C-alpha cells in the first residue's frame, strides 16, 4: 500500500542523472526514482518516473539521420522502466515524457509542425512499449508533457498561445488517432509563480477533448514572494478542479540552485508548500519535488528527503479522502445496475460528487439520497453507460483498472474516478437530459 498524504497520491522527488550514450555523448536524464511508501521508509522501486527532454525534442532527434525517434539514451530510460515493471509485482508503472520544442530554433512551433513525421514515429515506438506490456498483463502508462511552461517569459516558445494550441492538438491527434495509441495521456503544464496570471494561462488551453491531466510547475523563489505565488497557485488550482480531470504538479520547488551553492537547502520551503497543498483538502494525483542540488552533491537529496519524511510520513498513514454519505436508501431493494451506480457515487471525493449534484440541479451537498441515485442512474443510461455486471467488467478491462481476483467487478475509488472522468466528457458535449 503506497502512502497517500492528504491531497497527494504520489509524492516523488526529481533527480538528475548524467550518463554517456552509446554514441559517446554526455546526456542528462531527469527522473523520479523514489516514492514514499507506507510499509517502507523509502521505496526505490517506485511507480512513476519522469524523463525531461530539456535540450532536445523529438523534432531534432535525427541529427545522425536515424530512422527511429528514440535515441540510445532515451531507450536506456524506457527499457529500464520496462525491466522494472516486468520484474516487479506491480501491475503498472508510469513514464512522464517532457516533450519540448527545440530551444535552438527561431520558429519553435513551426519547426514542430514541419516534423510531425517524427512525432508519429515517436508515437509508434512508445505504443510498442505499452502494447508489449499489455501482452504481459502489465500497464506501461505514458504521459506526454508537451511544451511545458509555455506561459513563462524565460522559455523561448512562450507568448504564442495559438501555435501552442494547434501543435498540441496535432500531436494529440497523431498519438490517439493516427497511431491509435488511445491509452496515452497528455497533460497541460503551465508555470505558476509570482506574476503569472490565470487569464493568460487560459489562452493556452487546447480544449477539454485534448487534455487528460491538468498540471503545472510551482516555484517560490524568494520568501517574500510566497504569499503572491500561493495566491496565484490557488486560483489556478480551483480552475483546474472545475475541469473535473486528474491534477498533478510536474515540478515543485523553492530556490533554484547552482552547483557551487552547497549550503542552500530547500527543505523548509518545500515543506511549507506541501503543507499548503494538504490544507486545500483536494486530491493531487502526483507531486514532483525538486529537492535542490545536483548529482555532484547527492547529499542534498538525502537531507531534504529525510526532512520531508520526518515531517509528513510519520504523521499520516494512508488517510481516506472525505466521501459522501448515504441516506434513506435500501440497498437490498436496488437493481444490480442501481447498486453499481451507488458504488460510483459513494466512492467519489466530495468535490467531484457535489459537482455532479449541481449538474443534476440537486441541493443538499455531500449526501446520496434516493433522488440523487435515481437521477444519476438515469443519466448514466442516457449517456450509454452499461452498469450491468458485464458492462462493469468490460469498462474496467478497457481502462486497465485491475479487474482480476478479488477486484473483479468491484468499483473502488480509482474506478469511480474514471467513470466520473468519462461522464464529464459526455456532459461537456451533450445537453442536460430532462429527467
Contact 236, 273 (CB under 8 A): no
Q: What whole-number distance in Å separates Cα of residue 177 and Cα of residue 171?
A: 10
Query: What are 305's three cell numbers?
Result: 528527503
Q: What whole-number distance in Å separates Cα of residue 5 and Cα of residue 14?
A: 18
Query: What are 326's three cell numbers?
Result: 448515504
Query: What are 337's three cell numbers?
Result: 445496475
What's the confidence (pLDDT) of residue 188? 97
Cβ contacts of residue 216 below 8 Å, gap of 6+?
189, 190, 191, 192, 233, 236, 240, 249, 250
pLDDT digits (tens, 9 = 90+) for 365-405: 888 999 999 999 999 999 999 999 999 999 998 988 878 77
User: Does the pLDDT at position 207 exceed 90?
Assistant: yes
Question: Which region holds residue 251: left if phi is over 0, alpha if psi is between -120 and 50, else beta?
Answer: beta
Q: Which of 169-173, 182-186, 243-247, 307-311 has the lowest mean pLDDT?
A: 307-311
Q: What whole-number distance in Å separates Cα of residue 207 and Cα of residue 191?
A: 18
Contact 251, 288 (CB under 8 A): yes
The confidence band for 268, taking pLDDT boundaries of 50, 70 and 90, is low
Reduced to 3 states, what is the DSSP secondary structure of residue 188? strand
Sign for the pseudo-dihedral over CA of 142, 144, 149, 155: positive
Which is more confidently placed, 262 or 217?
Answer: 217
Place of cell 540510445: 72
pLDDT digits (tens, 9 = 90+) for 32-47: 333 332 222 333 334 4
What's the confidence (pLDDT) of residue 427? 75
Q: What whole-number distance in Å separates Cα of residue 366 and Cα of residue 355?
A: 10
Q: Which of 56-60, 120-124, 247-251, 399-403 has the lowest mean pLDDT?
A: 56-60
The confidence band for 283, taking pLDDT boundaries of 50, 70 and 90, is low
Angle between helices 413-429 and 350-359 (to 10 degrees): 30
Q: What whole-number distance in Å separates Cα of residue 408 and Cα of residue 183?
A: 21
Contact 14, 291 (CB under 8 A): yes
The confidence band for 195, taking pLDDT boundaries of 50, 70 and 90, is confident
Which is more confidently placed, 106 or 328?
Answer: 328
The confidence band for 212, taking pLDDT boundaries of 50, 70 and 90, is very high
What's the confidence (pLDDT) of residue 107? 76
What's the confidence (pLDDT) of residue 38? 25
What's the confidence (pLDDT) of residue 294? 40
Nearest to 189 by CA among 145, 253, 223: 145
What's the confidence (pLDDT) of residue 246? 86
* Cβ-count burial 287-300 (b if 16+ within 10 Å, e if not): bbbbbbbbeeeeeb
* DSSP secondary structure code for residue 213 in this structure: E
Place of cell 520484474: 87
Q: What whole-number distance in Å separates Cα of residue 161 and Cα of residue 369?
A: 44
Q: What whole-number distance in Å separates Cα of residue 123 and Cα of residue 172?
A: 10
Our measurement of the distance from residue 383's CA atom to the centroid of its chain's CA atoms, rounded to an integer in Å, reads: 26
Nearest to 353 by CA among 423, 409, 249: 423
Q: Please name every residue paired with 142 in a beta bridge, in sequence order, or none if there are none.
A: 95
Which is more confidently placed, 48 or 219?
Answer: 219
Which is more confidently placed, 351 or 2?
Answer: 351
Q: Which of 111-120, 128-137, 193-202, 319-328 has the lowest mean pLDDT?
A: 319-328
What's the confidence (pLDDT) of residue 73? 66
What's the confidence (pLDDT) of residue 35? 34
Question: What average pLDDT score do residues 405-430 get?
Answer: 81
User: Does the pLDDT at position 313 exceed 60?
Assistant: no
pLDDT digits (tens, 9 = 90+) for 214-247: 999 888 877 778 888 888 999 999 899 888 888 8
Q: What is the average pLDDT value for the chain, to the nearest integer?
A: 75
What's the confidence (pLDDT) of residue 118? 85
Burial of 96 (0-12, 13-18, 19+ CB in 10 A): buried
User: Does the pLDDT at position 204 exceed 70?
Assistant: yes
String of DSSP letters for 277-318: HHHT-S-BSEEEEE--S-TTSTHHHHHHHHHHIIIIITT-SS
**Phi then psi for 231, rounded to 5 degrees?**
-60, -45
| pTM for this model (two decimals) | 0.63
Sign for the pseudo-dihedral over CA of 206, 208, 209, 211: positive
Instruction: Provide the residue count of the chain.
Output: 435
pLDDT digits (tens, 9 = 90+) for 152-165: 887 878 889 999 99
Q: Which of 70-79, 230-239, 413-422 has the lowest mean pLDDT?
A: 70-79
* Cβ-count burial 189-228 (b if 16+ within 10 Å, e if not): bbbbbbebeeeebeebbbeeebbbbbbbbbbbeeeeebee
CA distances from 43 to 32, 158, 291, 308 (A): 11, 37, 17, 15
Domains of the chain are 11-313 (3.20.20.80), 325-429 (no CATH)
Amino acid at each position: 500500500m503506497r502512502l497517500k498524504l492528504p491531497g497527494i497520491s504520489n509524492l516523488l522527488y526529481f533527480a538528475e542523472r548524467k550518463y554517456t550514450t552509446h554514441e559517446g555523448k554526455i546526456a542528462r536524464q531527469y527522473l523520479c526514482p523514489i516514492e514514499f511508501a507506507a510499509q517502507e521508509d523509502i521505496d526505490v522501486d517506485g511507480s512513476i518516473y519522469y524523463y525531461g527532454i530539456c535540450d532536445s525534442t523529438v523534432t531534432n532527434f535525427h541529427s545522425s539521420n536515424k530512422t527511429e525517434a528514440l535515441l540510445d539514451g532515451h531507450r536506456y530510460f524506457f527499457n529500464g522502466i520496462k525491466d522494472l515493471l516486468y520484474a516487479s509485482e506491480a501491475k503498472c508503472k508510469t513514464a512522464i515524457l517532457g516533450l519540448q520544442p527545440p530551444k535552438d530554433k527561431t520558429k519553435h512551433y513551426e519547426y514542430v509542425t514541419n516534423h510531425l513525421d517524427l512525432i508519429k514515429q515517436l508515437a509508434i515506438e512508445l505504443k510498442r512499449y505499452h502494447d508489449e506490456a499489455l501482452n504481459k498483463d502489465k500497464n506501461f502508462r505514458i504521459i506526454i508533457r508537451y511544451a511545458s511552461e509555455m506561459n513563462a517569459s524565460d522559455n523561448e516558445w512562450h507568448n504564442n498561445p495559438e501555435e501552442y494550441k494547434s501543435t498540441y492538438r496535432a500531436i494529440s491527434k497523431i498519438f490517439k488517432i493516427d497511431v491509435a495509441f488511445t491509452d496515452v495521456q497528455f497533460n497541460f503544464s503551465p508555470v505558476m509563480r509570482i506574476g503569472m496570471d490565470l487569464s493568460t494561462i487560459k489562452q493556452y488551453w487546447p480544449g477539454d477533448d485534448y487534455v487528460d491531466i491538468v498540471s503545472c510547475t510551482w516555484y517560490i523563489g524568494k520568501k517574500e514572494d510566497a504569499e503572491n505565488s500561493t495566491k496565484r497557485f490557488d486560483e489556478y488550482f480551483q480552475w483546474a478542479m472545475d475541469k473535473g480531470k486528474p491534477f498533478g504538479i510536474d515540478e515543485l520547488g523553492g530556490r533554484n540552485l547552482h552547483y557551487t551553492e552547497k549550503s542552500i537547502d530547500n527543505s523548509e520551503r518545500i515543506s511549507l508548500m506541501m503543507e499548503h497543498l494538504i490544507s486545500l483538502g483536494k486530491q493531487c494525483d502526483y507531486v514532483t519535488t525538486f529537492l535542490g542540488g545536483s548529482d555532484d552533491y547527492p547529499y542534498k537529496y538525502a537531507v531534504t528527503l529525510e526532512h520531508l519524511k520526518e515531517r509528513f510520513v510519520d504523521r499520516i498513514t494512508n488517510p481516506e479522502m472525505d466521501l459522501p454519505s448515504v441516506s434513506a436508501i435500501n440497498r437490498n431493494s436496488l437493481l444490480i445496475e442501481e447498486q453499481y451506480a451507488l458504488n460510483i457515487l459513494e466512492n467519489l471525493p466530495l468535490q467531484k460528487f457535489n459537482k455532479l449534484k449541481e449538474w443534476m440541479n440537486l441541493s443538499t451537498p455531500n449526501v446520496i439520497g434516493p433522488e440523487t441515485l435515481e437521477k444519476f442512474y438515469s443519466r448514466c443510461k442516457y449517456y450509454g453507460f452499461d452498469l450491468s455486471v458485464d458492462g462493469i467488467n468490460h469498462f474496467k478491462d478497457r481502462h486497465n483498472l485491475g479487474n482480476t481476483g478479488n477486484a473483479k467487478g468491484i468499483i473502488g475509488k480509482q474506478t469511480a474516478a474514471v467513470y466520473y472522468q468519462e461522464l464529464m466528457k459526455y456532459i461537456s458535449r451533450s445537453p442536460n437530459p430532462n429527467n
